[in-house]
């Protein structure tokens, strides 16, 4: 059973540590400090919902450490992973897309540390800090662009190309160099990949097994390592 998020407030953050992150990169240190002083910080165990689809968007969040899966529930009750969000990004920003409820569920893919603010502060941050609003809406546009690209891929690409593209996106977003190649830096299952590419678990398993035999990837214990990125790029292009 997963534990509830820790209620203990984390140590006071130095604003200089956040200066490189998109929402703050164009702000002065005093402005970052003013925003941080109004934040609440929490630690979440892996597999915990930070917020749920359809719930009133009472807060918005920033992922300081860890990875988050953005999950949608289909009309038939199936869970589908729509996006993965790495550390350093805002999430739960319903106000940015004109909504009062969360459009999806945010599940921690690893142990995570999260900042949050009351949604009532969103309008003030956007109006008072130009850099905050500019960088935030860039993030929204990037995510919408990623979702649109996936829709086009599902309509035009073969299954093998879609899965290859999904793996390449994940190593571009979250990859870390290891001895043999580039590893997706959080646990990801074959089921997760099937949801990201609108295909079956059986098909993803067959493809990964085939790629392993060819020396393209290594897949074990919810960890995927790309051994030959160039070969995977070639596959993604058909």
- Percentage of the chain beyond pLDDT 70 is 95
| Ranges assigned E (strand) in the chain | 40-44, 49-51, 59-65, 67-73, 79-86, 90-91, 105-108, 112-118, 175-177, 182-184, 217-220, 223-226
Helix (H, G, I), strand (E, B) or coil at 218: strand
- Model confidence pLDDT, tens digit, residues 146-188: 777 777 777 788 999 999 999 998 998 888 899 889 999 888 8
Q: What is the pTM of this model?
A: 0.77
Higher pLDDT, 203 or 6: 203
Whether 15-154 shares its CATH topology with 158-236 is answered no
From 45-54, 140-149, 188-197, the region with the lowest mean pLDDT: 140-149
Domain 15-154 CATH (choose: 3.40.50.150, 3.40.30.10, 2.60.120.10, 1.20.1250.20):
2.60.120.10
Q: What is the CATH class of 158-236?
A: mainly alpha
Q: 26: which 2 tokens?
A: 């164009």
- Which sequence spans correspond to the domains of the chain? 15-154, 158-236
Q: pLDDT value at position 1? A: 42
In this predicted structure, the answer to whether residue 238 has a pLDDT above a threshold of 80 is no
Q: How far apart are the first and last CA of the chain?
A: 43
As a whole number, mean pLDDT of residues 232-238 equals 89
């Amino acid at each position: 059973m997963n534990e509830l998020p820790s209620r203990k407030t984390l140590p006071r953050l130095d604003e200089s540590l956040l200066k490189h992150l998109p929402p703050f990169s164009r702000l002065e240190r005093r402005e970052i400090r003013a925003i941080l002083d109004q934040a609440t910080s929490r630690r979440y165990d892996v597999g915990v919902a930070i917020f749920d689809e359809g719930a009133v968007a009472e807060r918005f969040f920033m992922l300081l450490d860890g990875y988050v899966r953005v999950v949608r529930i289909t009309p038939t009750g199936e869970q589908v992973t729509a996006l993965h969000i790495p550390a350093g990004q805002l999430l739960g920003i319903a106000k940015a897309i004109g909504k009062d409820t969360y459009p999806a569920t945010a599940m921690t893919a690893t142990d995570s540390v999260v900042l949050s603010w009351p949604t009532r502060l969103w309008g003030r941050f956007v109006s008072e800090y130009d850099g905050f609003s500019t960088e935030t809406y860039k993030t929204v546009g990037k995510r919408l662009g990623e979702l649109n690209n996936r829709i086009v891929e599902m309509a035009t690409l073969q299954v093998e190309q879609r899965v290859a593209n999904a793996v390449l996106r994940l190593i571009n977003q979250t990859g870390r160099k290891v001895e043999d190649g580039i590893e997706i830096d959080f646990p990801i299952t074959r089921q997760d990949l099937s949801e990201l590419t609108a295909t079956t678990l059986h098909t993803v398993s067959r493809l990964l097994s085939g790629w392993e035999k060819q020396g393209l990837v290594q897949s074990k214990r919810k960890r995927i390592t790309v051994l030959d990125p160039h070969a995977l790029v070639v596959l993604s292009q058909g």
